[in-house]
Amino acid sequence: MSRLKGFPGLIIKPEWVEKVTTGPYDAYTPEQRQVITSENPFSFLNVTRSFEDLPTEKQNDIEGLLNDCKEAMDHLYETNVYQTFDEPSLFIYRIDIPHNGKTHSQTGIVGLVPVEDTGSLRILKHEEVRPERSDLMSRHLVTVEASSSPISLTCKNDEQLNKTINNCTSNNPVLITEDSEMKQTIWRVAGETARELSELVNNKTLYITDGHHRMAAAEEALKKSKNRNKALESTLAVLFPDDEMLVLPFHRRVGDIENRSSQELLKSINSVCEIEKSEDFSPKQDGEVALYIDGQNYQMLLPKSNGNNLVDQLDVARLQEHILSPIFGVVNPGTHKLIDYVPGPLGVDVVKERCDKDSWVGFIMHPLNIKNLMDVAEAGELMPPKSSYLMPKPRSGVFVRDLNRENNIQ
């Protein structure tokens, strides 16, 4: 099976971009999603709704939730908000965003990748998944019979791949859209050029950078498919070259179950690592973490890990080993109720504001680099939850893969 193949895609029409497309589901609070979906029946958030968006009395009505999502997707089809392409195609997807006073640009390939890894396909993972989350996503995929948020992959770039992708952008795009946060440009690639692109990817190791739960959901949906639904054998993905990936940190906020004073906490932290007051609140290198407690800024240097694995040497693992687990009792950072993660793009000020509000302790992390992620995946290891925040994230509702339509065309 080809590593990356085309599909009869749906691309949002330019005049519907603002009305339909959204940021990632988890970029909004439940309150924000409630306002958006109640005011805009065309918002893709109506398709991606989850338990958090339901009133308490309907929290257990899974079937009702999923049927509402399907109705919202069908409503978009009926309103004819998408351009349709019957010939299986790959799509070149360029995203431009402002970052640190400049424009960050990355250009990838959108297509389908196999769900079942036969051993030769080499699609590597680096993050654990929560079964309850992937189960709901799997049921959503089967009920709605569509997907829109591609799994994000990366691979080692090379001159020929880069040249071929750039050549594809000399044609007229099928979509150009821009707002204050992002510019998106999409080119359609079919026929011999699509086959050439696919061949260039076939021998490469691919690494999941974002979307482990979506891949797990696709795997589960395929396993449960009674009649071996052909469309479920692949899943929607976007492949970006490694040298274009932008990796930001997930900052941590932790509550103290013992309600110790800031001085007591500082004493405990200082017993395992060096800390000092600092006006500079941005870690400059691996091992440095900025600490925010009781309105004060500190810099701390993490001790080396006692572990021997690659993942143990990462700052997020060292913080977990020396600070979060022994001092705050955060044994399982994926399920602990007194830990909160703040995506890097929201900024340090958001960490401070939230800590000032609830008296939690903030830890500002230095970002990993894409090589860290690839090395850990190559070693078959798994990173702690929320180890990195990959930017930019594709908008939901821009691409749609209609499974029913795809099966009928094949």
Q: Are 348 and 364 in contact (CB under 8 A)?
A: yes
Task: Give residue 18's pLDDT.
Answer: 95
The b-or-e profile of 376-388 (16+ CB within 10 A means b, else e) is: bbeeeebbbbbbb
**Interatomic CA distance for residues 382 and 126, integer angstroms:** 5
Q: How far is CA 75 from CA 43, 81, 82, 231, in A?
A: 11, 9, 12, 22
- Give helix 131-144 / helix 212-224 axis angle, nearest 10°: 60
State yes or no: pLDDT of 1 exceeds 60. Answer: no
Work out whether strand 206-210 and strand 90-99 pair parallel, antiparallel, or are unpaired: unpaired
Tally of CA atoms within 13 A in the half-sphere of 335 that contains its CB: 8
Q: What is the mean pLDDT of residues 298-323?
A: 95
**pLDDT range class, residue 27, cuts 50, 70, 90:** confident
User: pLDDT, tens digit, for every residue of 104-162?
Assistant: 999 999 999 999 765 555 889 888 888 888 899 999 999 999 999 999 999 999 999 99
User: pLDDT, tens digit, for every residue of 216-254?
Assistant: 999 999 998 877 788 999 999 999 999 999 999 999 999
Residue 229 DSSP SS3: coil
**pLDDT range class, residue 55, cuts 50, 70, 90:** confident
Q: Outline where 169-211 has alpha helix (H).
A: 191-202
State yes or no: pLDDT of 67 exceeds 80. Answer: yes
**pLDDT range class, residue 42, cuts 50, 70, 90:** very high
Q: Are 144 and 73 in contact (CB under 8 A)?
A: yes
Amino acid present at 137: M
Residue 296 CA, chain-centre distance (Å), reads 32
State yes or no: pLDDT of 350 exceeds 80. Answer: yes
Q: Which of 72, 31, 74 is nearest to 55 (CA)?
A: 31
State yes or no: pLDDT of 57 exceeds 80. Answer: no
Task: Give residue 19's pLDDT.
Answer: 97
Q: How far is CA 333 from CA 156, 330, 386, in A?
A: 31, 6, 9
Task: Tell which wins on pLDDT, 31 or 410.
Answer: 31
Q: What are phi and psi of 290, to 5 degrees?
A: -90, 135
**Interatomic CA distance for residues 392 and 399, integer angstroms:** 16
Mean pLDDT across the chain, nearest whole number?
Answer: 92
Tokens of 338: 């007194």
Task: Give residue 117's pLDDT.
Answer: 60
User: pLDDT, tens digit, for every residue of 281-307?
Assistant: 789 999 999 999 999 999 999 999 999
Task: Give residue 2's pLDDT.
Answer: 61
Amino acid present at 405: R
Give the dihedral sign, CA 381/386/390/396. positive
**Interatomic CA distance for residues 295 and 311, integer angstroms:** 32
Q: Are 7 and 88 in contact (CB under 8 A)?
A: yes
Task: Give residue 130's pLDDT.
Answer: 80
Beta-carbon count within 10 A of 224 CB: 12
Q: Which residues contact 288 (CB under 8 A, 6 or more apart)?
A: 299, 300, 301, 302, 366
Q: What is the mean pLDDT of residues 381-399?
A: 90
Phi/psi-derived region of residue 354, left when phi > 0, alpha when psi is between -120 and 50, beta in every other case: alpha
Give the H/E segment covering residue 106. Answer: strand 102-114
Could you give all domains of the chain from N- to C-terminal order, each with its CATH number? Answer: 10-247+391-409 (no CATH), 250-366 (3.30.1760)
Q: Are 252 and 320 in contact (CB under 8 A)?
A: no
Task: Give residue 371's pLDDT.
Answer: 92
Phi/psi-derived region of residue 79, left when phi > 0, alpha when psi is between -120 and 50, beta in every other case: alpha
Give the H/E segment covering residue 168. Answer: helix 159-168
Q: Are 148 and 401 in contact (CB under 8 A)?
A: yes
Task: Give residue 121's pLDDT.
Answer: 58
